[in-house]
């Protein structure tokens, strides 16, 4: 009866600890946002993380104008994340037989000066066309000037005004150019006989329930758009940003929230938008030389590749109006996005990944998936503050070993050659939850449980 009661208590404590661990993680994530904002001195940040089960954490810190507090529905320019959507639309059109990605672009668009007619849709998608940037910093400064701020540009007028000679022949490797995705937008509108933003809404946004995702300035929205500083004047943009966003169009004009973007990435990798074969094409990457384009190490079709902390991620990093990072790790089955009001500040994304990795290591240490454990290990009292009795829970003919781990999987206490019940008088290093393992002399795990320790 006593053992049954102890087991019941242990199960209840374990359930409470899972919730406690989730709360501790969320508090840690929030602290990361606050610290990153203070360290780098930018106004505000919004972030989201989507777990393997589809649950989402979101957090914000700071404000966008000095007055308006950022909340989970505050919109940011997603920058290169827009290219996810453009690439997916192209692949959907290929699935419908309306084009193939190895078609020459000029099958759908009239010839353009300095644009080689042999360039394929695939080369536009993975930035191997050799085309030069259309709107670089000199053009951007002109486009964001007060007299142009409210102007909505048509892509053809930008091409006529700013087209430049190519930097490479097609197919000679990665060279980023916004022109690639502007041309893809023209192809989509030509093939569908519809506007790009309506195709997005019909094929992606509405089916996925992305209620806070819009193509600006072509769609109306009620949410607040986070403000930012003009990179040329240092002043906060209070005037219209129509000119800035319309010049980015199908390469960078989607405004959204981190929560919507990680939901989109999860749906993409779960096969809910395009087929498995299309996703495989999308993830087929070309090599990017180290340091030649920020943190990217490879480029697929509208989606970049990085490796951080030995974890592969697919996604995008961008900066124009805001600084954005949005990546999905198929290995972790998780997506993470951080959107900043200004262009400085980079650490929040990586700090969140570090915490996620530690928490997953903790779960790995505590996992019983492959163990023959009868859940009969008992610890009394639990919670404990100094002395505790540990019952290994099974009949052990030989000596057993006690191992106690902290929340990130580090071994912090070990006792060998134990027999029967064991009384532990050692204080643990700080209040919190710990993992207790009963191990045989051959290092196989016999039983496992959780302990709550409370310092006096």
Task: Specify the range with the lowest mean pLDDT, choosing from 2-11, 59-68, 324-333, 403-412.
Answer: 2-11
**pLDDT exceeds cutoff 60 at 8:** no
449 vs 392: CA distance, rounded Å: 10
**pLDDT exceeds cutoff 70 at 376:** no
- Tell me the pLDDT of the chain averaged across its residues: 84
What pLDDT is attached to residue 295?
Answer: 83
**pLDDT exceeds cutoff 80 at 28:** yes
At 419, is the pLDDT very low, low, confident or very high (cuts 50, 70, 90)? confident
Task: Specify the range with the lowest mean pLDDT, choosing from 294-308, 330-344, 400-414.
Answer: 400-414
Across 415-437, average pLDDT: 83
Across 62-75, average pLDDT: 85
Using a pLDDT cut of 70, give the percent of the chain over it.
Answer: 86
Burial (0-12, 13-18, 19+ Cβ within 10 Å), 44? buried
Contact 404, 412 (CB under 8 A): yes
Highest mean pLDDT among 23-27, 159-163, 377-381: 159-163
58 vs 212: CA distance, rounded Å: 14
Highest mean pLDDT among 17-21, 136-140, 422-426: 422-426
Q: Which residue has the higher pLDDT, 380 or 328?
A: 328
**pLDDT exceeds cutoff 50 at 429:** yes
Q: Which residue has the higher pLDDT, 456 or 105?
A: 105
65 vs 69: CA distance, rounded Å: 8
Closest CA relative to residue 119, chosen from 106, 109, 110: 106
pLDDT digits (tens, 9 = 90+) for 192-233: 999 999 999 999 999 999 999 999 999 999 888 888 766 666
What pLDDT is attached to residue 231?
Answer: 61
Across 29-54, average pLDDT: 90
Across 295-311, average pLDDT: 91
Using a pLDDT cut of 90, give the percent of the chain over it.
Answer: 50
Across 334-341, average pLDDT: 94
Q: Which residue has the higher pLDDT, 258 or 452?
A: 258
pLDDT digits (tens, 9 = 90+) for 233-276: 666 665 578 888 999 999 999 999 999 999 999 999 999 999 99
Q: Which residue has the higher pLDDT, 234 or 54?
A: 54
Domains of the chain: 40-361 (3.40.710.10), 371-453 (2.60.40.3080)
Across 109-113, average pLDDT: 93
Closest CA relative to residue 451, chosen from 3, 8, 14: 14
Residues in a beta bridge with 69: 63
What pLDDT is attached to residue 4?
Answer: 40
Taking phi over 0 as left and psi of -120 to 50 as alpha, with beta for the rest, 234 belongs to: left
**pLDDT exceeds cutoff 70 at 11:** no
What pLDDT is attached to residue 408?
Answer: 56
Across 59-84, average pLDDT: 89
């Amino acid at each position: 009866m006593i053992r049954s009661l102890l087991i019941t208590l242990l199960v209840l404590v374990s359930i409470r600890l899972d919730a406690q661990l989730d709360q501790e993680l969320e508090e840690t994530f929030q602290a990361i946002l606050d610290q990153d904002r203070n360290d780098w001195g930018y106004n505000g940040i919004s972030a989201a993380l989507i777990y393997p089960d589809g649950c989402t954490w979101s957090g914000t810190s700071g404000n966008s104008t000095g007055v308006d507090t950022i909340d989970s529905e505050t919109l940011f320019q997603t920058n290169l994340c827009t290219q996810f959507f453009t690439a997916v639309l192209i692949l959907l059109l290929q699935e419908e037989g309306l084009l193939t990605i190895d078609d020459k672009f000029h099958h759908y668009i009239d010839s353009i000066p300095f644009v080689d007619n042999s360039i394929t849709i695939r080369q536009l998608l993975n930035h191997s066309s050799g085309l030069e940037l259309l709107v670089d910093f000199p053009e951007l400064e002109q486009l964001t000037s007060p007299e142009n701020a409210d102007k909505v540009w048509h892509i053809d007028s930008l091409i006529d005004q700013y087209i430049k000679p190519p930097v490479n022949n097609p197919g000679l490797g990665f060279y980023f150019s916004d022109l690639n995705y502007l041309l893809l937008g023209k192809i989509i509108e030509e093939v569908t006989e519809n506007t790009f933003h309506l195709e997005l809404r019909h094929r992606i946004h509405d089916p996925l329930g992305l209620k806070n995702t819009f193509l600006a300035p072509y769609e109306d929205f009620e949410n607040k758009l986070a403000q930012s500083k003009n990179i040329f004047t240092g002043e906060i943009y209070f005037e219209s940003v129509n000119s800035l966003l319309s010049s980015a169009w199908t390469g960078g004009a989607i405004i959204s929230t981190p929560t919507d973007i990680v939901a989109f990435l999860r749906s993409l990798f779960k096969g809910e938008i395009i087929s498995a074969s299309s996703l495989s094409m999308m993830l087929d990457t070309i090599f990017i030389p180290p340091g030649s384009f920020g943190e990217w190490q490879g480029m697929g079709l509208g989606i970049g590749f990085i490796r951080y902390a030995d974890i592969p991620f697919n996604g995008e990093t961008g900066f124009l109006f805001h600084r954005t990072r949005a990546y999905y790790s198929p290995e972790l089955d998780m997506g993470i996005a951080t959107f900043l009001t200004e262009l400085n500040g980079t650490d929040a994304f990586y700090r969140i990944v570090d915490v996620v990795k530690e928490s997953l290591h903790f779960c790995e240490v505590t996992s019983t998936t492959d163990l023959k454990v009868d859940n009969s290990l008992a610890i009394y009292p639990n919670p404990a503050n100094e002395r505790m009795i540990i019952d290994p829970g099974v009949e052990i003919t030989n000596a057993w070993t006690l191992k106690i781990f902290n929340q990130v999987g580090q071994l912090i206490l070990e006792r060998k050659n134990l027999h029967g019940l064991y009384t532990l008088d050692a204080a643990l290093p700080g209040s919190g939850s710990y993992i207790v393992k009963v191990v045989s002399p051959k290092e196989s795990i016999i039983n496992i449980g959780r302990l709550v320790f409370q310092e006096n």
